[in-house]
Amino acid sequence: MSGLFITLEGGHGCGKSTIMKMLKERLEGMGLQVVISVDQGGTVIGRELRRINLEKGEGIAILTEALLVAAARHQNVVEIIKPALLEGKVVIAERYNDAFFAFQGSARGLPLDLLEKISAAVVDGIEPHLTILLDVDVVVALARIAFQEKHRIERESMAFHKKVRRGYLEQAKKYPERIKVFDANFSPEKVFANVWSDVSKILKGESLC
């Protein structure tokens, strides 16, 4: 595929939406066509699955949660991500399959071999060129969303969110050539400046290693 696929990952409150908006504006300012993909919420089907999972999901089984997430994510791949990449556009996805291993694996405890099989089916062979992992102290991150109406996952315990963070960092160690970790404890402007340094290298065809 001729397009560029960038994913933004991290726990709740890490600043994904803010950095995604800044990245989109910078890329469009360069004359590039940018498509945004919001995990679970990017399609009509995905939004309904998300509603079931996050708003009506009290008491939901762990595997059921994982399968709902997988179904919504796959619909995003089919409807939004794959067509845009085939057209040579830049796709920025707010979460992708690394989230699977952080939330459903590290935090929920589902077997990694099971998640790997589901993950392979979900992505349809489409892997990110670059994954931006925004890492922030969990206490700081949750304070950022303290005054928002929280959905089911955001209301999970501090221990849960710490496991999510650990799961993401384990993914980064496993795929260091693709996943780049950025300290998101700073201002959005400083975080974005660091992120842009790596994105610009990708655009120039330079190695990030």
Q: What residue ranges define each of the domains in the chain, with the CATH number in brackets?
A: 4-203 (3.40.50.300)
| 180 backbone dihedrals φ, ψ, rounded to 5° | -110, 125
Using one digit for the tens of pLDDT, what is the confidence trace for 108-121? 999 999 999 999 99
Using one digit for the tens of pLDDT, what is the confidence trace for 141-157? 888 876 566 778 888 88
| 130 backbone dihedrals φ, ψ, rounded to 5° | -150, 135
Alpha-carbon distance 199 to 57, whole Å?
A: 37
Classified as helix, coil or strand, 101 is: helix
| 179 backbone dihedrals φ, ψ, rounded to 5° | -95, 120
pTM of the complete model beyond 0.75 = yes
For CA atoms 38, 144, 166, 63, give the dihedral sign. Answer: negative
pLDDT at residue 57 greater than cutoff 80:
no
pLDDT at residue 208 greater than cutoff 70:
no
Phi-psi region of 91 (alpha: psi -120 to 50; beta: other; left: phi over 0): beta
